[in-house]
Structure 1
């Protein structure tokens, strides 16, 4: 007995330990289920209308009269209404769908034989008080895709009202009461398989669902499920990997996702939780792919900007620039020196970036002459909130450091000019 308890505790421990922190967490609430019910119930109604009711034949013994042989054929559902339905979470399993007071209208043909007398005609059958209860189990398959299957279905039929057309009423009244149980049993046998078929159709769709996609030529994102779907009586949590990869090579970053927690509120249909791992894995992937760089030229600046990206404009700040390269356009290459880092807290997001700006003069032959390099390290803090379906926030530059790259003895700005021999002649503002 002691060994059993040890094994049970060990199982619980390792089950908990094997849980992986997601980069992206989604919580689905009852409000989302209600929205989905409106769409899903219409699809289910169309599916149930496809029920094929097999022909029924038999004989029944009528007192005094004797045996009456009957055949019911060509039964077709002409109407299937589901006025009352409810959907909710089924803790630990999935979703429970309940349908009450459904109504079915069926048409068909009848034939009866009694002694040497035979007759035939058509009929209308109204089925009321139909109820269906279906539990849809939701889990994660081995590929990280969501999976669903039927975990239990029950169906019950209330009252049946048959109205015959054609033939002699005294004849079909002999067997009308004998049809109720066969038709009820046939409907009950056919309903649950149709519901399961609708669920299987969804499962086939889920098996083809993409769990990763290319963002652009530099990166792709993996959004497979990393944990089994957690389901309570009020919400469902889905843990997605939420990790960016370098498109050229899948390389894990040197950091792991932290735990993601969401509010217990259920005022909205869905809640989204993003950890800083989501953004940092993107920074790691793009930096590794060499994508974090940008060339800035004068034509990219607003036309009304008082500062232009040319040596004449920069000459007001650095006279040597205009002196060495008069009336020339400039190009700035902004690039990261290491991956940007985002740190998220409940009330604040901080982004730290390290980069450099290589500045060039564009010579008449379109070649570039290096001017100076500006190293930049900045920390930006953001506070965001959603108000009236709009994302709002404030931005604050927490800290900023920059320096001019220089190799001159006086430690100030160094300007370089190519010589006719192809070498660079350099001048500093202390020369």
Structure 2
């Protein structure tokens, strides 16, 4: 069977629906992606046509007199169906119902304009007498079957969409809300989806203090799919981890690399803070770091920057293992980072720019903040930044739909936006 098929896939939606909140994430299927969808439709149409059986037909024919006939199938023979010209137009309506897109069958028209049919074996010598009637029947039923299959396919796809979750838990702390916040935007060359794109802490589901700003995705013909992640999306993640209590950790002496001369021991502070060594001689120390408020991330071309706000509580560990508070510092750290995609994971790296200290409380007299800033910056560069980079290097899996793979994705950081462009592959 040889096929020459033209398929038009038309999607109808609205770009002028009710104005909702700005999305934190936007996705756009480009003209290249729509063409790929059309090719999938062609492949599916070919498969369905190959599964067609010769129809049962009946009628009257003049063969040395009028003969009534009925053909209910071929007796062990075969047939070749060579389609030269088949055109089909499938129309789908895409709208929004609450948090999910809605697909609905709108219309379908198909026309089998030119094809050749050859019967072989069995009683084909007899059935060839009725070949014009058989061809007429095939010309009638093929468009009907195609449109029926298309209607069924849209119904099945819509049923799947309505069962899909609109949120996904990423780890034990946060989950992502990717529900729709507006109508799909349908143009002649693309289909766009405005997605809420907000991260919540799993336990409290508390709204962040950030407001999503409007942004536009570029027009491109080089890739099938464009995905835009806004500053809002990134910052809601920082807030979610803050609310969940994930942005806190302890630093003890055994965590400090051996090549750092300053140890977490009260004896190390006898020159800087003499009262510490006097009141608590030769005791190990502990620093409890905890976020004082959510971090703030800014996306600028080529990189991201972030301000991290923490409180550092410094303790002496007494012989009975209880803690004696020494002083409390307010710490503001400025970092910058890169992001990239590796092995279908979102990865990154980070470096420390600046550390600013402020004394919030002291039970051991005056604290030399400038010297402490230098010491803390060294400790962060030697201990915390490498650990964070190890996590970022492992990366986070990019969620995709079942049977959909990203092909050669490219990530760029632009002003206020992380832009991912990629081709896609459906099936194996």
> Corresponding residue for 1:57?
57
Q: Which of 162, 171, 188 is 2:118 aligned to?
A: 162
1:276–1:342 contact (8 Å) kept in structure 2 = yes
> Corresponding residue for 1:93?
none
Q: Which of 299, 304, 314 is 1:359 aligned to?
A: 314
> Corresponding residue for 2:236?
281
Q: Distance in 1 between matches of 2:95 and 2:198?
A: 18
Q: Which of 292, 296, 305 is 1:341 aligned to?
A: 296
SS in 1 for 2:206: coil
Q: Distance in 1 between matches of 2:131 and 2:47?
A: 29
Aligned-residue Cα RMSD (Å) equals 3.6
SS in 1 for 2:157: helix
Q: Distance in 2 between matches of 1:64 and 1:321?
A: 121
Q: Distance in 1 between matches of 2:35 and 2:367?
A: 67
1:266 aligns with 2:267: no
- TM-score normalised by structure 2 residue count: 0.69
Q: Distance in 1 between matches of 2:116 and 2:227?
A: 48
1:383–1:395 contact (8 Å) kept in structure 2 = no
1:152 aligns with 2:153: no
1:212–1:224 contact (8 Å) kept in structure 2 = yes
Worse-matched range after superposition: 21-30 or 264-273: 264-273
1:242 aligns with 2:197: yes
Q: Distance in 2 between matches of 1:125 and 1:352?
A: 70
Q: Distance in 1 between matches of 2:28 and 2:245?
A: 35
* Structure 1 residues 374-424: Cα deviation after superposition (integer angstroms, max 9, x where no partner): 11124445577899x998888673x6431233457975479xxxxxxxxxx
SS in 2 for 1:124: strand
Counting only pairs closer than 5 Å after superposition, residues 34-73 of structure 1 correspond to structure 2 as: 42=43, 45-51=46-52, 53=53, 55-62=55-62, 64-73=64-73
1:406–1:413 contact (8 Å) kept in structure 2 = no
Structure 2 spans left out of the alignment, 5+ residues: 1-14, 370-428
Counting only pairs closer than 5 Å after superposition, residues 21-420 of structure 1 correspond to structure 2 as: 21-33=22-34, 42=43, 45-51=46-52, 53=53, 55-62=55-62, 64-73=64-73, 108-109=74-75, 122-137=77-92, 139-157=94-112, 158-167=114-123, 169=125, 171-315=126-270, 317-345=272-300, 349-380=304-335, 397=353, 400-406=355-361, 412=367
In the TM superposition, what is the alpha-carbon distance from 1:335 to its structure 2 partner?
1.0
> Corresponding residue for 2:418?
none
SS in 1 for 2:204: coil
* Structure 1 residues 80-124: Cα deviation after superposition (integer angstroms, max 9, x where no partner): xxxxxxxxxxxxxxxxxxxxxxxxxxxx33xxxxxxxxxxx6341
In structure 2, relative to structure 1, the CA distance for the partners of 1:406 and 1:58 (3 Å cut) is closer
Q: Distance in 1 between matches of 2:357 and 2:132?
A: 94
2:273–2:365 contact (8 Å) kept in structure 1 = no
In the TM superposition, what is the alpha-carbon distance from 1:353 to its structure 2 partner?
2.6
In the TM superposition, what is the alpha-carbon distance from 1:241 to its structure 2 partner?
0.3
1:404–1:412 contact (8 Å) kept in structure 2 = yes
SS in 1 for 2:292: strand
Q: Distance in 1 between matches of 2:196 and 2:43?
A: 33
1:127–1:160 contact (8 Å) kept in structure 2 = yes
- TM-score normalised by structure 1 residue count: 0.69
SS in 2 for 1:25: strand
Quick check: which has more Rg, 1 or 2? Answer: 1
Q: Distance in 2 between matches of 1:23 and 1:318?
A: 48
Aligned residues: 352
1:130–1:155 contact (8 Å) kept in structure 2 = no
In the TM superposition, what is the alpha-carbon distance from 1:371 to its structure 2 partner?
1.9
Q: Distance in 1 between matches of 2:56 and 2:79?
A: 15
Considering Cα pairs closer than 8 Å and 6+ residues apart, tell me whether 1 or 2 has the greater RCO: 2
Q: Distance in 1 between matches of 2:138 and 2:247?
A: 70
- Structure richer in strand, relative to its length: 1
* Structure 1 residues 188-211: Cα deviation after superposition (integer angstroms, max 9, x where no partner): 221221122223222222111111
In the TM superposition, what is the alpha-carbon distance from 1:310 to its structure 2 partner?
3.3
1:134–1:151 contact (8 Å) kept in structure 2 = no
